[in-house]
Structure 1
């Protein structure tokens, strides 16, 4: 993204670069090892994160980072969208991913990243965004998505087992543009 967006003079939003991958990997690895937002149990290595970032960007989809200001500061969080499912009928629906560096939650970083994903996804012609939130007790992520127009679409109870306990997945959805009110353009 060529234009930097500043939030409280502490963070700027920009497209991820390959040299951001070590920071992205560290943030995500911490969530995998210590949290329940991701149902992965073993953190992907740097090569896998590099592959994931490249795959999203090669599909012309947004993969964003929030960087501490001034530019060149630490990566505070990241967000991306990807296909919700691979079958052709889902081609107008994307799934969101938002992770914030531990200890920085509640400071508006998610509210910098998520609206940008929404705006860019809509500009690309997509009609629906889906968030699959690990753990129904993940009130911060549920609240973030609600504040930005997502509504709860359902809860899959005890669908995952991690850190010695059963976890739910909360499904949230947000229409983009005309949503399901008309056929897609083109």
Structure 2
């Protein structure tokens, strides 16, 4: 784990981020995208991140092995002190504490940026993500039943929330 460095994402990281994300699109209901993203789509996605909405990568000896980000929770101004988090770890690097390291850094940044709370929507069956978020102090706050249809069935999404101090 000592070779892992968490840093701000750079545009040159996009091919690795695309690979990580597209694997999840193909194999998991952790995202409700149904088609793989293109590099151009990821460039547009990348442009949404800036100081108030950080995008972090876990870098192992120059190779991106995971990423986490804060994004806008809702568009209305009263939501500006709430952010939504996402975290993805490369399939060959899961179970090594990388997600926890990324999320810990992200939570620290959220506190520094003055956020009041972070929410995360986790698809049913994604126990690794549930366990990670609960370990970090997130609590379940509600379930949206059957809101996503992927792989021939409906999926629930449970929202988890962490209040920042």
Query: Which secondary structure does the structure 1 equivalent of 2:93 belong to?
Result: coil
Structure 2: 5+ residue runs without aligned partners? none
Partner of 1:173: 161
Deviation at 1:28, TM superposition (A): 0.2
Aligned Cα root-mean-square deviation (Å): 1.1
* Alignment of structure 1 residues 13-162 onto 2, 5 Å: 13-57=6-50, 60-69=52-61, 72=62, 74-134=63-123, 136-162=124-150
Deviation at 1:52, TM superposition (A): 1.5
Aligned residues: 165
Partner of 1:184: none
- RCO greater where, 1 or 2, for CA within 8 Å and sep 6 or more? 2
Deviation at 1:159, TM superposition (A): 1.1
Deviation at 1:102, TM superposition (A): 1.1
Tell me the TM-score normalized by structure 2: 0.96
Q: Which structure has the larger Rg over C-alpha atoms?
A: 1
Distance 2:132 2:110 in 1: 17
Distance 1:133 1:36 in 2: 9
Deviation at 1:97, TM superposition (A): 0.8
Runs of 4 or more, structure 1, over 4 Å off, are: none
Structure 1: 5+ residue runs without aligned partners? 1-7, 178-186
Distance 1:84 1:145 in 2: 17
Query: Which secondary structure does the structure 1 equivalent of 2:40 belong to?
Result: helix
Distance 2:82 2:159 in 1: 13
Query: Which secondary structure does the structure 2 equivalent of 1:116 belong to?
Result: helix
- C-alpha deviations, 1:31-74, integer Å up to 9, x for none? 011111001111221112122222112x53210000113xx2x1
